[in-house]
Structure formats: structure tokens, C-alpha cells
Chains A and B, each alone.
Chain A
Amino acid sequence: MENYIEQARTTLLNPAEVGDRELDTLLGKMSGRHIDHADLYFQYTRHESWVLEEGIVKSGSYNVDKGVGLRAVSGDKSGFAFSDDLRFPTLTQAAESVRGIAHGIGTGRIVATERRSVNAPVLYGPHDPLASISDAEKVSLLERVEQEARNKDPRVKQVIVNLAGSHEIMMVVRADGEICADVRPLVRLTVNVVAESNGRREQGGFSGGSRETYDFLTNSDVAFEYAREAVRQALVNLESINAPAGTMDVVLGPGWPGIILHEAVGHGLEGDFNRKGTSAYSGRVGEKVASELCTIVDDGTITNRRGSLTIDDEGTQSMNTVLIENGVLKGYMQDLTNARLMNQPPTGNGRRESFRHQPMPRMTNTYMLPGESTHDEIISSVDKGLYAVSFSGGQVDITSGEFVFSATEAYMIEKGKLTRPVKGVTLIGNGPDVLNRITMVGNNLELDSGTGTCGKNGQSVPVGVGQPTIRIDSLTVGGVEI
């Protein structure tokens, strides 16, 4: 990672003529008495997007974003400013504006030592996706994916394919002397289709990606698999009937349905809510909060995964953190500030959308470890219920614990067998309550395809989820058939 720091300096600092002396001056201004932590977060992101619809690539866009976020923390208070102008006089002004936060609260324990760099095992390559294939090849990929979807079935009427790639160079310089940098590639391909039959129209979609270059999509069949999946889902939905309303047993398929863990558990275990005592899980470490079949982790260390990070946005090395072990709450996800205030170690979950935002505890890849049951055993155990395999998204109220997630592909289970597909339906429950009603966990752990984006306090970050097939007894299903 050493060379990443050089790369960051070359890209971000050198053009603005900001060197070590200037960095020291800025951090000096930000870290007076009572300041516990101060950092500079430099970021340079290039992002592109290509969209194909109606058989042609209609538009493309290219974004360049460059700037720095300056932060001073004192106790539980923080001052923050950002600038897209990296010249020293502007940064000096910004640095002065953030230190006003200290009013004799923090202990001011920053010990500035010799500058030292962090070295963590690199989880993804530094290569630039945007330059990994030519623009002509990108266009050709979109066209071939579209053809795959159209050729699959004549009922396919609309195909929209979106290819997005970004390359981010970030560097954190901290008042305690730590300096580190990361280079993060990210690509994603999304296929949405509308199928029509006898005047009825339904949609299907699939999306996936990785922290790699576009080679991830071109070196295998994966992009075409997304197209086939999107078509399959749209055709299934053409046959769907009204979903039932009421409480019933629900089986969630492996992989992306792990969104339930993200909502029902994940957000409630983020350090900030728990330090403040506003989460339904506050003060419950050591308590049994889920069925003993449940072991849930947040793991930022999986190679090339969308939610993975070599280091987080505060310079902490990514980790695999056990949140719930055999149903018992083990710990929270922390950034530096909340870890310090709760007297716990940071867990590498300090993340931010960009230099324009302050870091806070966020998930990386959150998943449940496999259990003993087979997928078929779980399905056949249900007399009357719902089997859901794909979702459009979820949401949670961390204080009450209430959460929802909305299915886009689901089936009725009758007498242990899958029968008719049902229309999209929202499921609702209370996190700690629902986790206790997980009665079967499959042996078929899968991670999602690399498509998740999580929003919190207006900030979006890429995340991953995963799980084996699970059975939840009596969950509320939001259909129309009473």
C-alpha cells in the first residue's frame, strides 16, 4: 500500500502544491487543546455510466470529483468542513473553521508522532476500471447483453442495460501521525426488462458487480447471466397472482434476501445509535437477541466484494466482526469516535459517501453463517407460507426495531411445495422479535451478486449482504387477499 500514498500525493496534493509541511500546518491548526482527533480526507473519484435502451446506447456520462474533508473531534462533538479547492489558503480557512467545535470537552490526547503509514493486506487491485476496456468495447458489451435478453423470449418488450464504473483514490492524514491511502475500483452492470403478454406488463431485473475492472464482466458469462435472470424474473411475474395478507411462515432464499439481516440487525448494531442509546439493541451485549441458529457477521475483508474495504475511510484496517453468535449479541460496528467514546476497539466500519460527508459507523458485507438444514428440507417444512427470493430494498426504524423489506419475486408454499408466484409484496416485522423466530437455517450460504447500496443520514455507500436459506415463523405479509 506504500505506493498508494505516493499515487495519492501525485494525484491530489502535488497539483495543489500541498506537501508535508502544509499538511502539518493544517493539522496543527485543527488539533489544539481539547481536540481528541483530527483528520484530512483527500479523495479523487472518476465515475462513468453508459445506458442502453431501445437497442441503442443513448447516453453516457463521465464525472470527476476531487476534494478534501477536514474534521476535528472533541469528545462526542465534531467540526467538519469540505472543499473542492485544494489550494493551501482555502484549506487553511477550512481548517480554522472546524476547530471552533472544542469548548473544553475533549481530553485532547492526540500525540502527534512521526508520520507513519498503515499497511493492510490489499483486498482488491488498484486497476482503473474506466481504462480497462475501450469505450467501443463497453458499448459492444451493452449491445450483446441486450441481445441476450431479447433473444431469450419474444415477450420481452423493453430492455435497459446500465454499465457503471468508478475509480477512487483516497488518502487519510491524521493528527496522530497516521497516513494511509487506498485505491478502490468498483463496477456494476444492471439489466431491467419489461415483458408483455396478453396486455399485461411486468418487470424483472438483475444487477451485479465487484471491486474489479470491467474484466469481471467480460471474462466470463456473468453479464449474460444477469440478462437471463432479469428475463426469467419478468416472465415469472407475468404469471403472478395477488399475494395474501396476514401473518404466515416465510422462507427467504439464499444470497440477496440477506437484506433482512442488514435491516433487522445491522443498522441497530451500528455504534453511534448504541452509544446514544437510541437503538432497540442498546445495552444488550451478552443478551440473547436471536434464535441460537443465528450467527451473523460484518466482514469487510472478502476479496473483491462490493462492500469490502482494505482500510475504512478513517484509515482503520477492515475486519470480520462477529455481531451475533449462536443468538447472543457480541458487539457493535464502530468508527473511531464511537469506539473511543464506548471504550471499545474500532472495527473498521468508519465510512463516508465522499469528502463532502463525515464518517460514521456503516456496514460492509453483512451475512449469516450456514446452518444444518438443506434448502429442500426448509421449503418442505412449511404447510402454508411464502417463499421470497428477490427484493427491491428495505428500511428500518432503529429505535422501535420495526423493519420492512419489499419482495419483487415470491411464491406461495402450499403443503411443502412451491406453487404460484405472487405479486410484489412488502414484509414487516420487529428486528429482535423476528430474529427469535428464525427456526431453520440452511447449509447453503450465498453472498449477493454485488449490487447493494445502503443509505443512512443521506449518505450512500456500497455494501454486501448474504445468507443461507432461512425459515421465519409468522411474519406479516403485505398482500391484498384477505
Chain B
Amino acid sequence: MFELSVACKYLLPRRRQLSVSIISLISILVISLVVWLIVVFFSITDGLEKNWIHKLTALTAPVRITPTPAYYNSYYYQVDTLSQATDYQSRTIRQKNEALVTDSYDPAEDQEIPSSWPAPDLNADGSVKDLVKSVYESIDELSGIDGVQAHDFEIAAGQLNLTVGRESESGSSLQKLASKSLSFPAFVTNFEPQNRPLTQTLLPLDSHDQTNVLYQLGSTAQGLRTFFDHVQVKAVKTPSHGWKIPLKLLPEQFHWKVYAVYHKNKLVRIFVPLDLSREDHLASLEENPELKVIPSNVISNSEGMFLQLPGESNLTPLSNRSPLTLLGDTTFPAYPLQDSIRTAQDLENVSLEIALTVQGSDLNGTVPFRGLEIAQAEMNPSTQVPWIHPEGKTLVLPHDSILGAGILLPKTMKEGGVLVGDSGTISYFSPTASILQEQKLPIYIAGFYDQGIIPIGGKLVLANRDTISIIRPSLQPEEGPTTNGINLRFSSLNQADTVKEQLLKAFKSKGIHRYWNVETFREYEFTKGIIQELQSQKNIFSMIALVIIIVACSNIISMLIILVNDKKVEIGILRSMGATSKSIALIFGLAGGIIGAMGSIIGILAAIATVKNLQTILGVISRLQGYDLFNTAFYGTAAPQELSYEALSFVIGATVLISLLAGVVPAVKACLVRPSSILRSAG
């Protein structure tokens, strides 16, 4: 194709056509920048959206079936409140599905049905239509959908009360922190053991959680043994306020550089750094005007232990009680002594074998566990750990005999200082014969999940079904948004609309469509706004992007018009050799297309490199700015690293199309060149 080779030759930078070369270069640069920007932006937003939707569907489901007011007003639902067989209690979807009898009403035993009630929906044989079982039948009839799982859900309301106490001291004030209580209203929904997608939203147990669980369980011998059976401690660290080095651990002779801390001219603490590059930990102490930090030496020899202040030759003797404190967050290997665990009644009696080197002096020996934190531990795979864990294909939310019922809290609570192992109660009101009585159910935190951006996510507590069934009567259907329903999960989120369509069709054919709402994850009351906002943001940016691409490609028009003027004689020569006007137009159209394609390719390559290294780039920018570029509460801990193929196709399509369109005007101009006049004038 000679048109392509001619177009390529024309685009090669030449001194004779400097203006064309410069404009071409600028065009390519601008297009590649725009392409890079669009692809990176869409890859990030698409990645975040996928992440959010993943979390959303893990906590809810891709499709939800919920009862309409018509269901709660129906004879089918209300009849249980009149029936002795059901203890005059309305039944949940699960109870309805498990019930052997659809219509529990016994005219002989039960009181008369109020005339205001609607007539029951009847089957062809005159029996009452089972509205819940018909739904499950419709789910079973779904075709072409892989991995369908249906689980009913319940939501109850309660007041969550937590007591968060830590054995800690503030580094700046050296004052003990009081334990704090947290109390907030919460929606408690049931935890589904078969909900594997939830696993990916669970936060892994960190060393703070492990330490907290140990301290919570450490009050009993059984708790201690449960913990150490499943957790192998490999290393410990000193708490942020430091760790008093036991005197028996100190070597006989040493010479250490230390920081002596004075409060009102009284020596209160001597901080010992593991090595001499840890001064940053003293910054908070130095900021406190009441404290005076003096870099000094501690010398120990056969005559005793002495403090040597700078510029003083006199040594101040230190009493055996003078505390040498290892600086905070110092990690060192440690092994719990199995004998001490076997015999210990609580954590006070558990000992650790430690080995560390402080400024060249070896410190080896046995120390009590209390006062130290777990830094590194290995989990023994087990089914009895008191936190959430997988067991085969299901997840287990444990119920601990000491701590109570395990619950899962949203990530924001962990950021608020709550740790796995913290305990408290859920209070709820239980109706008695005369009054509503407040009841308290002991619970403890068995794990955290990342709730993403669901508005009610911060208040959603996951608990086992038996916990819900205790609290449930406190929330009536009319009080909550959706208190009972069926979560429908399946392999591909893209099939959500198909599932909804099939279900609505099935409900209609069964005559139960007015009793049930079917919603996909994009339609939930609490997510609709966010998803629409995301979509409108993307639409607005697409429009802006399109305008930017048009502006970038408009450079191509100028460049091609100059090129056509420069190449008029050559156009005449080509025409004299038999080139058609279409071929001439194609040469300049291709020149525009090549610039667009080159810009796109460079932009896409840069975008791929950026997206693949996004985490590093964000880290660098965040460090330069001094604050996090992406709020982890909203965006998760890891930046998206997947390229948006939707954005790629949009950009490639738009750029090439607009570049070709940009070539139209110059190409038409080139077609209109009369070879005779050009060749004559050039001659």
C-alpha cells in the first residue's frame, strides 16, 4: 500500500519541514498525555468500583428478594399471629420455609379471623398458596445461572456496648490510660457460613489483635491454653511506652548510651535504645515541656550501676530500683516456656525465653509475658480458635465459653481502637407481659470486615443466626428498612439482571409477584445513590475526556494543512503518475491516523506502567504531600492494579476516529490540488 509508505515518509522529522515535525511531535505528546490520563483515571475508578461492589455483594448479595407490604398484610403472614400452632408468633422466612404446614390456622382452636384481613391467595386445589416456598421453587427453576445459593437474612436492631481497655501508657505523659466504653446503635444481621466472598473482606488478625486476645483470655488457665495451642509466638515487641528491663537480665558489666528523662528535676526513666538510630521515639517526650531528656551513659561494673550525665565527670549511683526501660516498639525473638503455660493460672505466670543484644551486650533469660506484645506469631490451623476462621468450605464465627458470642464488626471500629478479643454486650428490648424489658447479650469481637462505602456499613454487625433470633423480636418489620429477605448469590455478577428477569417472570406465573421485591445490587436503597454517583462521575469525565481528545487532535488538522501546502508539488507528481484523488486523500488521512495511533500507543504504554506501579507511585506522592492520597477507609488498603479494558477501547476508538476525522479537511484540500497548475508553476 503505497499510501501508507508515503504517509510514513511525510511524518519522518526533517529539517526542511521543521514546523510540521514540531507540530506532529506536540500532537503526539498531547494525545499520549490525554490517553494516559483517561486510561489511568478509568482504571482507578473501575478498580475502586469493582472493589466496592465486591465488598457490597459480599456483605449483601448480588440479588435480594424482600417482602413487600402486601406480604406483611397478607393472610399468609398474619395468620400465624392468631394460630395456637405457631404460638401466636409471626414467622420468619426461614421458619415459613421449614414449616410443614402452610396454613397453621385451626378454626376449631383459634379465634376468628378479622374481617379486615385480605382473603388468602389460593392454589387451584383450594389450598393456601405458600408465598415463601414458591419463591424457593422459582430460585430452583433458574436456568443458565452457575453456583446459585439462596440464604435468608434477618436484620435486628440493638445497642452495642463495648469496653476497650489497654495495658498501656501514653509516651508523652507517662500517665496510665483509663479504659473507655463505646456504645452505639447497630443493625445486627446474620452471618452466613457459606458466604465465601466474605473471606476476602475480612481483615487478617494483626499482632495487636493477637496480643489483645491473649490478654482477654489470659485471665483463666483454660483461655491461656486455648490461645497457646493455636498460636506459636515467635517474637515479641516492647509496648510504645517502653519495657522495663528486669534487673536479673542485665549483664554484670556494660556501658550503654541512654536517655535520662527528668520530671521536675527528678529522674523518672532511663530509656535504652537497642541501637543508636532510634531517637525518633523520643520526639514525643522532648515535646513535653515538663520533661527533660538528657542523652547520657549508664555504666555498670563490679561496684554497681551509675549514670554519667554529659559534661560531668561524677557518676551518679543508680539504685537497684532505677528503671532501665527499653525503647518502645523494639522487636526481639521470644519463645513461651511450655512448662509455664501448662501450670499457669493466668498470664502473670507465663514466661518467655528471650535473647536480644543491646548495644553489643547480650541479654538472655526468662521474663514474664505480661508487659510485652506479640510481634510475630504463627497460627496453627485449627477449628477451635476464638476468632473467625475457615473450616472446609465454610466460615466459622465462634461462640466462646468465656467471652460469649462472637460478632464481626466493620473496619471503622478497628480504626477507632477496638481489637479482636474486646468484649461487651448487645442490649435489646424484650417484650414481657407488662413492659419492654432491656436485655443484654454478652458478645466479643471475633473479627473485622471491610465494609467499603456502604452507608449503613459502619453500623452493620454480623452475628450468628442464634444471636439474631434472640434480638429479633425487638425490631418490627415496619421499623427497619428491610428486616427479612433472601440473599441470592451466584458465580457471575454480570448475570444479576438475568436472574432478576427470570425471577420476576417466575413470580408472575406463580401469581406471587405482588408480595416480593427483586432488586439487583445496583438498586439497593443504600447503594443506589453511590453507584449512580460513580456512574455520573464517569460520564462527566468521559465527556471532558472527549473534549480534551478533540482539542488534542485539532493540532493534527493544523499540522496536516501545513503538510498539504508543503507537499503540493509531490501531490501533482503522484497524480501525474496515476494516483487517484482517493489515494491522495488517504495519504493525509493516514498521516493523521498514524499520529493519533502513536499518541495512543505511547499513552497506553505509560498508563500500563503507571497502573502496574500505582501502589508505589501513590506511596511516593503521599510521602511528598505528607498525607494519604487515597483514604483507606473508602478505597481499601491496595490501589487498583487492573487496566480498564473499557477505557482502553474507548480511548483507542475515540483517538483514531477523531484523528481520521481531523485528516478529512486537509485530505479534501489535497484532493482539490490540480496537478497541471502545480507542475507548471513548479516548472
> Do A and B truly interact?
no
